[in-house]
Chains A and B, each alone.
Chain A
């Protein structure tokens, strides 16, 4: 795979130490040409360091970075065909839009006529044909975003790195830009590597997502794989929302097993990845709110709610958020469980009602307790 040119970017056992701190630990991954790859992790997980190594602003302490199959170790940042959109965009305030985009071309010694053609071409492609002569401070947030991308794309990079570029935008614009970025990536058909701590940005836009934690990749996969089949407890808790229970395995086989939670409730799970959980070992169980059904106690539809797991509780409060509304249920043992509900406006659940919580063992994700948290 090392010589396979269909990978735009490959990292092999890349690590970075700052003194005694190991910021990035032996990270390996490769990104197929033309795909949208995200690195998702909490702040301080090492994702920015990793990106800075790819861009050439930091030298790795170990491992190799290859672009289009060629190692770029020792290549200075201005000689790498990896362009970067910075967190605060880093547009040059003393140049207008045209000069900002032309800057890279001029550095490459492109002729003036060619520069003019390319700049106008790229402005067309980002649907801002008329802003060439504007100053940077005259642009809106979304326009700046697109100019920052155009400034890189005009240079036909092998890989475009994006360092949380949506962080500074307001919510509405951020939502719009997510879609726009995805469309731009399609249009340019360039490999995007997107760094973020915002899981919804990563899940919405990416073909593949790497979850990074404490300098290591926990899991790489499509958004669906990560969501539905997390391979570690960290991924399960970091991607999407979950209810979590700790407990001890009572019985187990390759298809699943039974756990007794700390509150003394029995719970059944299906094994992730055909792995057998050791009986008597401590585990964490994660259940996503949308897989838990809440039904009124004594209501007729309990029969419809298929599932091996059942809990009783009282509605504590409703969290109305349109299609994403939730209910908080306080169980007999006192903890709060979140569950998605559809609120129609008629005959909805009300606080204080007795309810049953039901879910399938297939939706109970079980991970061995690592001893922490």
Chain B
């Protein structure tokens, strides 16, 4: 009897072990390391002291917090665009497409993930540059008189980012919408609702967990992306991850970089917390569910 219990407990530990190792070694320890590093101030070569200097540096330099706010607001915009574009796509896949075409459509959405961030960004560069496909096409049609540069501006960054992250919006949306009984939508019409009413009062509230989950993932991915904003952005565009990279690599200022990393984490967590509060959702019934 006792032995049986011990074996059960042992197998439970064994099952739990990979998860615990992953959480401790790859999530908790590095973050503790980052926090400790971010609290060090360089006094002289190889001499460090504990202080909040790196965080104060962030507050005192408008470039840094402007970049963070800019990154945050553009990420919100990308999230909103991904939702606006992704919702109809997800609705089509989950509710309108036949069961056979559904798999194919899902696969189509996955295709961008098969190539690396870098290749995807180069794809956009080929399309958008002054001598690129779109500019040449418009020239050919005569809509523009001379080549136009579509690249190296914030619009290009937003387009590229939306394209990259939209899948992460579509997947949770499809899974929640898929779980919605079609009769619910029909009941919405049957009781007198117009298409807009049904969308606003029935479909969107029902899909809310999926919407929130998608928005959280999309926002985190966007705010944390590096290559796309760097490669597509213009001479004035800056992204907070670029600042972190600069601190670590260009300026050899690991302490500052660590502080920036923690700040990005706090900031995105704060935005998500606000979003959850405003939408009346919890993490448990959104991200954890889908």
Contact = CB atoms under 8 A, between A and B. Distances in A.
A155 B183 contact: no
B185 to A, nearest CB: 9
Given A103-B201, A107-B197, A90 B192 contact: no
B189 interface: yes
B206 interface: yes
- Interface SS majority for chain B: helix
A163 to B, nearest CB: 9
A94 B190 contact: no
A76 B198 CA distance: 14
B206 A107 contact: no
A155 B193 CA distance: 12
B194 interface: yes
A86 B189 contact: no
B212 interface: no
Interface in B154-205: 181, 183-184, 186-194, 197, 201-202, 205
A55 B190 CA distance: 7
Contacts of B202: 92
A316 to B, nearest CB: 46
A88 B205 contact: no
A94 B181 contact: no
Contacts of A84: 186-187, 190
B184 A92 contact: yes
B192 A78 contact: yes
Contact of B189 (A76, A88, A94): A76
Contact of A104 (B181, B191, B194): B191
A370 B228 CA distance: 73
A103 B191 contact: yes
Contacts of B208: 94
Most buried by B among A55, A56, A76, A90: A90
A90 B205 contact: no
Q: Chain B interface: which size bin?
A: 10 to 19
Contacts of B187: 84, 86, 90, 92
A87 B187 CA distance: 11
A197 interface: no
Contacts of A56: 189-190
B190 A78 contact: yes
A136 B154 CA distance: 47
A103 B206 contact: no
A150 to B, nearest CB: 12
A107 B205 contact: no
Given A107-B191, A151-B191, A86 B183 contact: yes
B184 A103 contact: no
A103 B192 CA distance: 9
A88 B180 CA distance: 12
Contacts of A86: 183, 186-187
A95 B201 CA distance: 9
A62 B191 CA distance: 26
B183 A108 contact: no
Contacts of B191: 78, 83, 103-104, 107, 151-152, 155
Contact of A90 (B186, B193, B197, B201): B186
A103 B191 CA distance: 8
B2 to A, nearest CB: 42
A29 interface: no
Interface string A51-93: 0000111000000000000000000111100111011101011
Contact of B192 (A57, A88, A94, A155): A155
B186 A103 contact: no
A82 B197 CA distance: 18
Contacts of A90: 181, 183-184, 186-187
Contact of A77 (B183, B184, B189, B197): B189
B8 to A, nearest CB: 34
Given A90-B181, A93-B206, A94-B206, A107 B190 contact: no
26 contacts: A76-B189, A77-B189, A78-B189, A78-B190, A78-B192, A83-B190, A84-B186, A84-B187, A86-B186, A86-B187, A88-B183, A90-B181, A90-B184, A92-B187, A92-B188, A92-B202, A92-B206, A94-B205, A103-B188, A103-B191, A103-B193, A103-B201, A107-B197, A108-B192, A151-B191, A155-B192
Interface of B: 181, 183-184, 186-194, 197, 201-202, 205-206, 208
Q: Report, nearest first, the 10 A-B pairs whose CB atoms are least far apart.
A: A104-B191, A107-B192, A90-B183, A90-B187, A94-B205, A86-B183, A77-B189, A78-B189, A107-B193, A84-B190
Interface of A: 55-57, 76-79, 82-84, 86-88, 90, 92-95, 103-104, 107-108, 151-152, 155
Given A78-B189, A84-B187, A88-B181, 8 more contacts: A78-B191, A86-B187, A92-B187, A92-B206, A94-B205, A94-B206, A107-B191, A155-B191
